[in-house]
A and B are shown apart, each in its own frame.
Chain A
Amino acid sequence: MSSVTVNSVPLVAPEVAQTIHQRSIGVGILFGVVSLVTALVPQTREQFFHSYLLGFMLWLGVALGSMAILMIQHLTGGWWGMVIRRQLEAAMKTLPLMALLFIPIVLGRHHLYVWTHPDVVAREPHLRDITSSYLRIGGSPGYLFLNGYIGRAVVYFAVWLGLAFLLERWSREQDSPPVQNLSPRFRTVAAPGLILYAFSISFAVIDWVMSLDPYWISTIYGFIFIVGECLSALCFMVIVERILVRYQPMASLLKPKEVHDHGKLILTFVLLWAYFSFSQLLIIWAGNLPMEIRFFTRRLNSGWQAIGLALVIFHFGVPFLLLLSRALKRDVRTLVWLASWLIFMRFVDLYWYIEPSFHKTVYLHPLDFLVPIAIGGFWLALFFHNLRLRPLLPVYDMHGQEFLEYVGASHA
């Protein structure tokens, strides 16, 4: 544990982190037990796995998005990243838990993926193609076969855990004097790391989410998820900021200017999400091909269109208009409401991507809330545990002292 202080205030996370950690475990166990029971009951088992995939993708998004933002901030620098670096690292360090939580998806594959049923595959020529001959190399089977699915998942998690391991280890090196300039080392990993992340998550969402409907493809799909993950991560950071700013040391470290920057980044990602999502719609609508429009004919009919419209208005329209306000972005107490709302909309967006694959008409099961909350409980418990292990500011970073002067100067 470090004894780093600012104006004689220690830089460790406040007691509240411990409280939230304990409560999150409670929530995780409570909702986890209920979810587990539904997984064991045959009638609800199928729904359990649908909701599980939803919850998994939601929290994986916060963890991976945080890693991406962390790498961006290593490349760009800036005080906006300095004040949230340790929070981003704590979120990134939940990736081992997410790797563990992936196992149930493999176990419940028959409830999720139609291509894992040999009898269905035998009946459908297209499924036969993608499971046996599509992308076939030598004597190997096609793209969507179980060993390939698991093998690729191992590669994705190896990439993510490897990046997280390096970024975390060097960051720990920076927690004791003397001041070292590790920035070049961080940059060497962050630049290729971002490219690796973009590729790996694109392939991962094709495997895990897009293959729920193996007849359909969209080339911008990966980017929609990347932007969604970065948005989730930033919104989560603002929520954590709001909790920490009530106590020292964050009370004297967080300035309106940095909150403003976080607000601007949220606005950027809201716009990008809308831009990519609309591009997907426009391209498919303009092409008007039977194989492509099946995604939207399913999601813009039989009640699902209400969810789609809600996404346009509440994931884009209203947040966009609100985020134009400078005052709202500068005050963490107002920004936190919008951030919380956007995390909920991230959930709705994923729900709109996943659940219509199983139901022709609009359908919502209580498990769609219970399971994501259960996973979130454990995830948050680990996050706040991680947060308490390290000082909240990298003081021995090259720019650490400069940052303290900056914070002190605007304080005087």
Chain B
Amino acid sequence: MRDPRIYGLLAEFDNVNDAIRAARSTYAAGYRKIDAYTPFPVEELSEAIGFEKNGVALVCLIGGLLGGTAAFVLQWWINNISYPLNVGGRPFNSWPSFIIVTFEMTILFSGLSAVFGMLALNGLPMPYHPVFNVPRFDLASKDRFFLIIFSSDKNYDPTRTRQFLEGLNPISVAEVPS
């Protein structure tokens, strides 16, 4: 049934409320492999297409923990084992003074892992993406809202899915070649 030359069906909407309503109907109709493209972030739309969680938070947390631990262990090792130095008679393991660097490294590593984790999980950089084969898709960064049903969805059918999308009051429906 699945045509490998077809990436999916793209519906175009001229306002955010139509797009949200369409996304909700699409999800309710049983389609799961769907996505939406908008000129600005629309939180309700993410919810409507069934998007719940991404891995960025977890990557960020792990990065932060690693950075913090590394910073503390490094300072501990330097001050206790590698090069113990008597500073004003304080104990070698003066943990309060290690906290600042530990804190900064936690922030640095969680920040970096958030950025690079986001890029990696998004599959970026991505030199080729099939949706750009549809000329009107340029408007997604101006004033149009797009909803796509991927051909990999188990309910996808070239004619029935097209009819379904056309019933959602879009401006246009286009087949996306892969």
By a beta-carbon cutoff of 8 Å, the part of chain A in contact with chain B is 257, 278, 281-282, 285-286, 288, 324, 326, 409-410, 412
Contact = CB atoms under 8 A, between A and B. Distances in A.
Contact of B96 (A281, A326, A410, A412): A281
Given A324-B61, A326-B57, A410 B44 contact: yes
Contacts of B44: 410
B17 A412 contact: yes
Contacts of A285: 96
B16 to A, nearest CB: 8
Given A257-B43, A324-B61, A326-B57, A286 B97 contact: yes
B88 A282 contact: no
B134 interface: no
B96 A282 contact: yes
A402 to B, nearest CB: 15
A410 B17 CA distance: 9
Contact of B97 (A282, A409, A410, A412): A282
A8 B96 CA distance: 59
B78 interface: no
A412 B17 CA distance: 9
Interface string B87-110: 010100000110110000000000
Given A324-B61, A410-B44, A282 B17 contact: no
A312 to B, nearest CB: 12
A11 to B, nearest CB: 25
B100 A282 contact: yes
Contacts of A412: 17
Nearest to B87: A286
A144 B57 CA distance: 51
7 contacts: A257-B43, A278-B99, A282-B97, A286-B96, A288-B90, A324-B61, A410-B44
B75 to A, nearest CB: 14
Contact of B88 (A257, A288, A324, A410): A288
Contacts of A409: 17
Given A326-B57, A409-B17, 8 more contacts: A278-B99, A282-B97, A282-B100, A286-B96, A286-B97, A288-B88, A288-B90, A410-B44
Contacts of A257: 43
The 4 closest A-B pairs by CB, nearest first: A282-B96, A285-B96, A410-B44, A278-B99
Interface string B35-48: 00000000110000
A288 B61 CA distance: 35
B53 to A, nearest CB: 9
Contacts of A326: 57
Contacts of B96: 281-282, 285-286
A289 to B, nearest CB: 11
A285 B91 CA distance: 12
B99 to A, nearest CB: 7
A324 B58 CA distance: 11
Contacts of B17: 409, 412
